[in-house]
């Protein structure tokens, strides 16, 4: 059963942890691909130097972050890799959670890393601003409540001390996370 919108109306730090163990479902034609979310990163908006909305920056690219929790914010990183984010909080409060890795039933490593995840699930810019609670092509279902580990976020050294915040979360001892 799809998770309802109220689940996403919370701060990004809480949502990032609560998404772990949930199932991300992607429907492509008649085929469904389901993976367990095993790694996330939180971006807490205007005060977070690593966030695309730092200092309330608002552009065409990041407009989705200002939507209500449960919407998708997707962007192209380095002009190569799509990055899937789930918007957190109330409309107008730009926080989001990057989905970094999935554990797939086939036990492959093809979905460990945000770029690989989007490539594997055929997720692109057309998903931007889509409501994940109403979508017929991507949604999140309930799952288990795992033991969680926190660590510093990945690939944001430009953000100074904000890069060291332990806002990357993953399932303890899971072999499918993107970085050990």
Is 52 within the bounds of a domain? yes
**Res 109: pLDDT:** 57
| 2 DSSP β-pair partners | 141
Cβ(137)–Cβ(107) below 8 Å: no
Percent of the chain with pLDDT over 70: 97
**Res 153: pLDDT:** 94
Compute the mean pLDDT over every residue in the chain, rounded to the nearest whole number: 93
Is 108 within the bounds of a domain? yes
Q: For Cα atoms 9, 62, 155, give the angle at the middle one, nearest 5 degrees.
A: 90
Cβ(75)–Cβ(64) below 8 Å: no
49-69: pLDDT as tens digits: 999 999 999 999 999 999 999
Rounded average pLDDT over 150-176: 93
Distance separating alpha carbons of residues 127 and 129, to the nearest angstrom = 6
**What distances in angstroms separate CA 147 from CA 34, 85, 86, 150, 151, one per listed residue?**
21, 22, 21, 10, 14
15-30: pLDDT as tens digits: 999 999 999 999 999 9
Cβ(46)–Cβ(94) below 8 Å: yes
**CATH code of residue 83:** 3.10.300.10
Neighbours of 29 (CB within 10 A): 6
**Res 104: pLDDT:** 86
Is 120 within the bounds of a domain? yes
**Res 108: pLDDT:** 58
**Res 164: pLDDT:** 93
99-152: pLDDT as tens digits: 999 998 876 556 888 899 999 899 999 999 999 999 999 999 999 999 999 999
Domain count for the chain, please give it.
1
Q: Is the per-residue pLDDT at 93 higher than 90?
A: yes
**Res 107: pLDDT:** 65
Is 128 within the bounds of a domain? yes
Nearest Cα to Cα of residue 97 among 25, 170, 146 = 170
Q: Which of the pair, 138 or 175, is modelled with greater confidence?
A: 138
Q: Tell me which residue range forms the domain holding 101.
A: 5-171
Is 176 within the bounds of a domain? no
């Amino acid at each position: 059963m799809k998770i309802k919108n109220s689940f996403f109306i919370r701060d990004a730090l809480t949502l990032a942890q609560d998404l772990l163990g949930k199932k991300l479902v992607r429907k492509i034609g008649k085929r469904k691909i389901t993976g367990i979310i095993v790694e996330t990163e939180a971006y807490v908006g205007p005060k977070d130097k690593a966030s695309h909305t730092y200092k309330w920056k608002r552009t065409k690219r990041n407009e989705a972050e200002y939507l209500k929790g449960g919407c998708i914010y997707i962007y192209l990183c380095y002009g190569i890799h799509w990055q899937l984010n789930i918007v957190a909080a109330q409309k107008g409060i730009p926080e989001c959670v990057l989905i970094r890795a999935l554990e797939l039933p086939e036990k492959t490593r093809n979905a460990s890393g945000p770029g690989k995840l989007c490539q594997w699930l055929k997720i692109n810019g057309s998903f931007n601003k889509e409501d994940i609670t109403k979508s017929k092509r991507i949604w999140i279902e309930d799952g288990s409540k795992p033991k969680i580990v926190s660590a510093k976020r990945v690939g944001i050294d430009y953000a100074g001390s904000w890069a060291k915040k332990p806002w990357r979360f993953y399932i303890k001892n899971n072999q499918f996370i993107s970085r050990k």
